[in-house]
């Protein structure tokens, strides 16, 4: 799914030891800046496959192109959509890398940045998401009961798309 600028983010993931995620994030951000790339780093526990990030980027780029963006940064706008939240503060709380983060997701939104050793491409879909993770993401039991197991990930993509409606 290309954004209005014709770009599709490249999405990577990396397992880290508890307490090492922030240092990993800072190293990636510094290297990305050196290559004039725009990247987004998120807690992998709240990312449900590369399609989740690609959809968020698409909606963020479209909102920016149409002047409906809540942020001047494509990375922050993508974070807002990825979170399925209306408020940036809620989005950051939900998606930010923290001390307990064990899996980091990196989205290269623009530029030539390559993450290097230890990173692997994130699969488009993770299969059947864990219901507990979906609940932490904000999907209710009632919502989960409306779809079959094979369609649970679609509830996350619906949340991404719904940001256009709830942020008005």
Q: What is the mean pLDDT of residues 82-107?
A: 95
pLDDT of residue 3: 60
Q: What is the mean pLDDT of residues 104-127?
A: 93
Percent of the chain with pLDDT over 90: 85
pLDDT of residue 123: 94
DSSP classification of residue 46: G
Cα(29)–Cα(52) distance, integer angstroms:
21
Q: Give the H or E element holding residue 48.
A: none
pLDDT of residue 2: 60
pLDDT of residue 127: 75
pLDDT of residue 1: 67
pLDDT band, residue 7 (cuts 50/70/90)? confident
Q: Is 96 exposed, middle or buried (0-12, 13-18, 19+ CB in 10 A)?
A: middle
DSSP classification of residue 167: T
pLDDT of residue 56: 97
Residue appearing with tokens 């397992």 = 15
What digits encode the pLDDT tens for the residues 121-151? 999 997 778 899 999 999 999 999 999 998 9
Q: Would the pLDDT of 73 be above 90?
A: yes
For residue 130 the two structure tokens come to 């864990």
pTM, full prediction: 0.93
């Amino acid at each position: 799914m290309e954004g209005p600028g014709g770009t599709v983010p490249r999405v990577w993931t990396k397992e880290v030891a508890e307490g090492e995620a922030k240092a990993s994030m800072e190293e990636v951000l510094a290297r990305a800046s050196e290559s004039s790339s725009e990247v987004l780093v998120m807690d992998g526990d709240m990312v449900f496959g590369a399609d989740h990030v690609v959809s968020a980027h698409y909606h963020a780029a479209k909102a920016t192109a149409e002047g409906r963006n809540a942020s001047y940064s494509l990375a922050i706008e993508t974070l807002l959509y990825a979170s399925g939240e209306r408020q940036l503060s809620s989005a950051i709380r939900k998606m930010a890398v923290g001390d307990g983060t064990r899996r980091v997701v990196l989205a290269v939104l623009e530029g030539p940045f390559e993450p290097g050793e230890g990173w692997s491409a994130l699969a488009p879909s993770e299969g059947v998401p864990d219901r507990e993770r979906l609940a932490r993401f904000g999907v209710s039991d009632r919502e989960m009961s409306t779809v079959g197991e094979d369609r649970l990930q679609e509830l996350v993509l619906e949340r991404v798309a719904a940001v256009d409606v709830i942020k008005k």
